[in-house]
Homo-oligomer: A and B are copies of this chain.
Amino acid sequence: MQITPFDDTYFMQKAIAEAELAYERGEIPVGVVVVINNRIIARGHNLTETLNDVTAHAEMQAITAAANFLGGKYLKDCTMYVTLEPCQMCAGALYWSQLSRLVFAAEDPQRGYRAMGGKLHPKTKVSHGTMETEASGLLKRFFIEKRNLK
């Protein structure tokens, strides 16, 4: 068996580990990592409830952290791995960042940027579906538990 340590699945697993941290905090479990040259330069998970802040999506925090690491505001040559399709806010932020590549796991047919009419930057290549089952399984488990607690 060939070992491919730095493929999309590897990095999406790291994003799912972040989503699990959100889950443990009672947050909608979405996680993200930003990668440049096979190196993770930013991680984040959804903190909207903890911070009482609708802008505290995983992606927004990771964009700020990655830019901070790079010392510039553009995420050129960076790939973002995120467990759920970004919303229009996050897509808008990614548009401004000129991110090179976006990989998301689960689709969001209600609030995802594609359904809401949002746009990524023309430079941003997009793929999705990597570890979709794991990412959407975590989200489903969260919402079932939440419903049962009411």
Contact = CB atoms under 8 A, between A and B. Distances in A.
Contacts of A53: 63-64, 67-68, 73
A70 to B, nearest CB: 9
B89 A93 contact: yes
Contacts of A87: 92, 96
A58 to B, nearest CB: 13
Interface of A: 48, 52-55, 60, 63-64, 67-68, 71-74, 87-93, 95-97, 116-119
A97 B48 CA distance: 11
Contacts of A72: 52
State the number of copies, please. Answer: 2
A96 B110 CA distance: 13
A96 B92 contact: no
Contact of A119 (B48, B54, B74, B117): B117
Find the residue from A48, A55, A67, A116 having the highest chain B CB count within 10 A. Answer: A55
A116 B116 contact: no
Contacts of A117: 116-119
A120 B116 CA distance: 10
A142 to B, nearest CB: 18
Given A88-B88, A118-B117, A118-B118, A96 B54 contact: yes
Contacts of A89: 88-93, 95-96
B95 A92 contact: no
